Chains A and B, each alone.
Chain A
Amino acid sequence: MINLKDISKTYPGESKPAVDNLSLEIDEGEICILVGPSGCGKTTTLKMINRLIEPSSGKIFINGQDAINQNPNKLRQDIGYVIQDIGLFPHMTVAENIATVPKLKDWDQAKIDERIDELLNLIGLNPADTKDKYPAQLSGGQKQRIGVARAMAVDPPIMLMDEPFAAVDPITRTQLQNEFLSLQKKIQKTICFVTHDIDEAIKMGDKIAILNQGRLIQSDSPKNILFNPKNEFVEDFVGSDRSLKVLNLIKVSEIMKKNIPTATTQSSPKEVLDKINDSRQSYILVIDKGEKLIGYVNKKRMKSNSNKNWKENIKYSQVISSDASLIDALSRLIQNNQSILPVTSDENNLIGIVKLKDIQDKIADSYQAESELEEPEVV
């Protein structure tokens, strides 16, 4: 949908080009990330797509048409543009901000009002509360979301985003990234996204284009960038922890084991002990009548307290949801000093279990590493 052909940009007075003969294709409905160190030309490239910067040479085709033939303003009205500082108009309400491009395109007011409500709902904000507020009254996260909504006002098929989530705190950033990915599932836009953060690139991108000093070094899927870095630069840029980065891409649901032995709160102490022995583990997970996880009991405790109410031995366990990434699972395991993590639904139903060993095996599989240095599993 977007086709960059040998584009270059050299600023007057500079000897080295900011963008050097770059060719890249962005397919319809995909998120393409431009990523690289400072000064690599990623923002310059982005801005050439909507002609905020004009290329020194080369051609840019949008939907088959040469962008140079279109009126720049009209071109931009049909491309959503989100920048790091968002640039919300402080003198306009949220509604007026979002209505900017629709007004430029002479939409009638009823249509605009409808669209504003639609968009605010889409980004998870209550229209009635938010519509008439001014930017000064909004939080950083809200501003960012409204910036995205504003860019989508006329439903442009293409969106350009320049470090859109960089200006907020890490927690909000993760939230915004997740929300945006959910949104993209619904709206399927063609997106060109600039970031300096390789983790964000891996998380958000369908395709990653790594740039350095104005040149395209490697353009590939996130997995290929991690598993098959083209050269040392890409390897270094991705980081020596790229094996861990893969964990970002894999969900708990992909490696969790189901059919786990469990004891219910109705069981007698003897039944519980039997179950533990049958399972050949040192513990058993305890669920209630509705299949909801209560916790676990330890074999040693059960044995030493056989006369008392056995339920007092139930200990609480950290859990994880099935669509969390393996990196979240790994963090949680390590933080809580557990080597297994029960997987539960939002309603706390036990779905499965994920083990530290399983995560390790998954990475090893991916890199085809053979293990020699290993501790035997303790029963």
Chain B
Amino acid sequence: MKTIQYFIENLNYITDLTIQHLILIGIAIILALIIWVSVGIAIRNKDKTANTILSIGSLFMSIPSVALYGILVTIPFFGLRTRSAVFGLILYSMIPIVRNVYTALNEVDPSIIEAARGMGMSERQILKEVQLPLALPVIFAGVRVALVMMVGIATLAVFIGEQNLGQLIQQGISRTRTDMVITGAIMVSIIAIGIDLLIGYLKKKIVSPGLLLDDNQGGR
């Protein structure tokens, strides 16, 4: 098949683009986690602020990424540089991460919190030792969603000059090269699935086994 041939012939180029793709996502997710997890923790007890922030985030979600990139490009500070792409990715990951952190922290069983308070734990200790560990599974789910989204949105950043797997698809369209398009599409899908599996693996490693039992045992 033409596609396989293309893949083999251009392995270096494809690997290069893949790495670029991963770097872009990597930078974005690290910054996103630092920013959005902090926000989620900060608003955990402030319902009104949380609602406002989540509404704003929802608003961003509905803006098409190409449109957002388009607007960013016209702003002097951002322009046609990688920072626009990173900024866009961070914005789009707001809702999955903030919403999940906020919800998970608030959904911890109240009797657990009461027991912790009754034992003499301070607010900070409760957050660190009890709430956050218990919120981890849901936070991981949010990170998963954010990352898979980023893989797709990063593809579109090629329109503002980014070099990543989206190039294969875009070039494939303008040069009517199906082999390039399919290669690009498959590579992106592989990355998305790979990241999904990676997060699943990390989750098993990081989240307390006590919380994962239901997954394995399906209820006693």
Contacts and interface: CB of A to CB of B under 8 A. Distances in A.
Interface stretch (A134-142, A238-246, A351-359): A134-142
A84 B115 CA distance: 10
B111 A136 contact: no
A281 interface: no
Interface in B116-147: 116-122, 125, 129-130, 133-134, 136
A73 B122 contact: yes
Contact of A90 (B114, B116, B210, B220): B210
A150 B121 CA distance: 14
A51 to B, nearest CB: 10
Contacts of A78: 120
B122 A135 contact: no
Contacts of B112: 87-90
A43 to B, nearest CB: 11
A: contact size bracket: 20 to 34
A91 B114 contact: no
A104 B208 contact: no
Interface string B193-220: 0000000000000011111011001001
Interface residues of B, number: 28
B209 A134 contact: yes
A87 B210 contact: no
B115 A104 contact: no
Contacts, number: 86
A86 B211 contact: no
B9 interface: no
Given A83-B114, A89-B112, A91-B134, A104 B119 contact: yes
Contacts of A26: none
A160 B211 CA distance: 28
B211 A90 contact: yes
Contacts of B207: 91
Query: Interface centre among A101, A104, A136, A137, by most B CB within 10 Å?
Result: A136
Nearest to A50: B118
Interface in A89-120: 89-93, 100-101, 104
A27 interface: no
B109 A87 contact: yes
A106 to B, nearest CB: 13
A95 to B, nearest CB: 12
Query: Interface centre among B115, B130, B136, B209, by most A CB within 10 Å?
Result: B115
B115 A83 contact: yes
Q: Which 6 A-B pairs have the closest CB atoms?
A: A87-B115, A134-B210, A81-B118, A77-B120, A76-B120, A91-B208
Interface of B: 109, 111-122, 125, 129-130, 133-134, 136, 207-211, 213-214, 217, 220
Given A76-B120, A100-B129, 12 more contacts: A74-B120, A75-B120, A76-B118, A81-B115, A85-B111, A87-B113, A91-B207, A92-B208, A100-B119, A101-B120, A136-B220, A150-B119
9 contacts: A79-B118, A81-B119, A85-B111, A87-B109, A87-B111, A87-B112, A87-B114, A89-B115, A104-B119
